[in-house]
Structure 1
Amino acid sequence: MKNFEFQPFAKACIQLLAFAALGYALWRVKGVIVYAGISLYISVLGRPLFKILQFKTPLGKYVGKTGNAALTLLTIAAVLSGIVTWFFPLLIKEFSFLSTIEYDRLIASLEEEWNQLDAILASFGINSQAELEQINNSLQEFASVDAISDALSGLIGSMGNVIIGLFSISFISFFLIREQELAHRFIDYITPKKHHAKIDKMVPGIKRVVTRYSFGILIQITLIFLLLSLGMSLIGVQGAVVLALTAAVFNLVPYVGPLIGASLGILLGIGQLYTTGLSDPATSVNLLQSLYLLFGLFAVVQLLDNIVFQPIIFSNSVGAHPLEIFLVISVAGTLLGVGGMIFAVPAYSILRIVINTIREGWEAS
């Protein structure tokens, strides 16, 4: 009797230890897993272009699968490189002028308008002068030449890891694009034959979810970009396109990203309005009113994103409850950082498909 009771317990302990060891091993190689996941994502998105090159163009039929895979990867890289080479110089230009602003004069120009709210702030126990001094000190510290230089130095210092990551992702993506069934065959190899039918059922669903989610995210970014660029242009901010695109891209990072994007957009927007007013007094605007408008613009766009855009995207592509999404993103952010937060939803969608397929098999048996 004791032996009979001990065997299930021992088996459960062994399984638990095995899962713990597997989890630890995966944690140790999480960087490789992230590279593989991004490469798989790129291969799914690049597969339609690969098929067009292979079957619809004379060159594609001549160079074969290897050449088509290389052309597909080069096309994706060229598009991304074009966006980066166009976008980053403009973004650096926007940031570089921050160090030239005389923040004492900026705060002084705001102070006269701010005094109109002094009575209201005082009724809430807020010392407006102290708040202005704190804002001034924070702005000078954030936008000082040393701070910007340190940020650029840190970015340059991390370029080695970025280059290694790009090479790894490109290498893996090439073979995944070239051999569509490579990942499928690997899964079949490590899975017992009796489960191959389930794998065949899961793969199309995974590809469909990843594709739909990607296009949904693209639509989300486009809508946010259009609304912000239009609103900032109406307010009078120069470089509204760059600032709006920056905020829209930061929006990819759940929860934290929108705050960072809004902070940068408001700070750079007010700085531009101020410097434009100094160089051309005819274009001078009420800075405090513009600050309110920028706050309101980002708040309204974020509400639209949370209430309209995201629910539609997640319900159509993932079909998950908002609470599920919140918990998944929180766990991914804790374990894997910002990258984990960005890819948490598609990874969770794939996991849901796997679990649902396994559960259907159990119920059928």
Structure 2
Amino acid sequence: MITSKIISNGILRALSTILVVGAILYFLYEIQTVIVYLCISLILCLIANPLVQFLKNKLKFRNSLAAATTLIVFILLLVGFIFLFVPLIISQANNLSLLDTNNLQNQFMQTERSIEAYFNIQHVDLNKMLKDSKITSAFGIGYFTGFINSLINFLANMGMGLVSVFFITFFFIKDQDAFKASARRILPDSNEDKIINSITKINHLLTRYFIGLLLQLTVVFILYLIVLLIFGNQNAFVIAFLCAILNIIPYIGPIIGTILAGILTMISMIGSDFQSEILPKTIYVLIGFLLVQAIDNNISQPIISSKSVNSHPLEIFLITLISGITFGIVGMIIAIPVYTMLKVILKEFFPNNKIVSVLTERI
């Protein structure tokens, strides 16, 4: 018989559970920055694994020396990355400071009249459109100065984050064996082997995935660089590098990179004739970037991604698409790593399930 006391106890337990879950979620929300640092450090640790193993096994480095050497490599890469972009920022700041928006607007009007005369289309008042949209004002030096100030503030705030990430990464690399030993003592005996096997497989597959991702970005960077060098683009190396980094975001990243390449190409040619020089060169660069994306999307990306995590290219595409629709850009970025982790866990704990066996037959 259900009494009021049983009902009240059930309500109290439900409320207690809700409060505990809410408190945990609130706590995780408050320390979200720390969680991001941990995730970034874990990814760096996975990427560094081949180098660490080489230093320890081939060169006989101790854990501390191997971790310190790997961290120095990361720091040097970061410093090189920063010095790559300083010249680009200075160059584009100078270009924007010399920009004559009235002249640019006149060049747009001349281009519009040429198009009208060729195609005999209905007149479109670009002059009014530009004024209404305030596009020309966006090219002012004041806008760029504000952007630079925001960038400086962002970099200043990221200083502590970089120190924290490198500090955590050092100990992740140095003491990863000790962490695994501690995990063995904490884990329940009944599932200890399954959990350890899952962690080992996940570590192996994600290491391959992030190394494969770096390989893919390198291929895209080289192709972008070739396109920009063919058309004599200023700062070709830096622009190609930045656009290649944007490829981390599946499908959307390449589009953003192509638009960015077009904008930087136009800015780098300020002072030239818009119709005969700037516009044709920009179109050629955009076509070249689209060809690179076609190669990457249909050849390098499916092959590298599928081989690194042992999944079918169509499977990778569908998971990325679904994650993007459900969780946006962040979902697209983390889709493959999370899906790989889930597959490994499911195979380890439910190996006899027919659906799981089909999905994980390549692992």
The match for 2:87 is 90
C-alpha distance 144-157 of structure 1, shift in aligned 2 (>3 A): same
Match of 1:350 among 341, 346, 352: 341
The match for 2:75 is 77
C-alpha distance 353-167 of structure 1, shift in aligned 2 (>3 A): same
The match for 1:323 is 318
CA distance in 1, matches of 2:233, 2:66: 44
Describe the SS at the equivalent of 1:248: helix
1:257 aligns with 2:253: yes
C-alpha distance 356-161 of structure 1, shift in aligned 2 (>3 A): farther
Pairing 1:1-365 to 2, within 5 Å after superposition: 17=18, 22-57=24-59, 60=61, 64-85=62-83, 87-96=84-93, 97-118=95-116, 123=121, 126-131=124-129, 137-138=134-135, 140-185=136-181, 187-275=183-271, 285-318=276-309, 319=311, 320-329=315-324, 331-333=326-328, 342-360=333-351
C-alpha distance 207-232 of structure 1, shift in aligned 2 (>3 A): same
Which consecutive unaligned segments of at least 5 residues does structure 2 have? Answer: 357-363
Which consecutive unaligned segments of at least 5 residues does structure 1 have? Answer: 279-283
Describe the SS at the equivalent of 1:109: helix
CA distance in 2, matches of 1:147, 1:190: 55
Displacement, 1:68? Answer: 2.8
CA distance in 1, matches of 2:47, 2:16: 37
CA distance in 1, matches of 2:268, 2:165: 38
C-alpha distance 311-120 of structure 1, shift in aligned 2 (>3 A): farther
Deviations 1:214-261 (A, max 9, x none): 122222222222222222222232222221111111222344433332
Deviations 1:43-73 (A, max 9, x none): 2222332333334337x3xxx4223322221
Aligned identity (percent) is 27
Displacement, 1:20? Answer: 6.2
Output the amino acid matched with 2:52. Answer: F
C-alpha distance 270-225 of structure 1, shift in aligned 2 (>3 A): same
CA contact (8 A) 1:198 1:358 kept: yes
Q: TM-score, normalised by structure 2?
A: 0.79
CA distance in 2, matches of 1:302, 1:118: 32
Aligned pair count? 345
C-alpha distance 15-260 of structure 1, shift in aligned 2 (>3 A): farther
More off after superposition, 197-206 vs 158-167: 158-167
Output the amino acid matched with 2:307. Answer: N
CA contact (8 A) 1:206 1:353 kept: yes
Output the amino acid matched with 1:100. Answer: L
Cα RMSD of the aligned pairs, angstroms, is: 3.7
CA distance in 2, matches of 1:110, 1:216: 43
Displacement, 1:181? Answer: 2.4
Describe the SS at the equivalent of 2:249: coil
Deviations 1:52-96 (A, max 9, x none): 3334337x3xxx4223322221222123322322x1122213421
CA distance in 1, matches of 2:124, 2:200: 58
C-alpha distance 178-332 of structure 1, shift in aligned 2 (>3 A): farther
Displacement, 1:21? Answer: 5.7
CA contact (8 A) 2:198 2:344 kept: yes
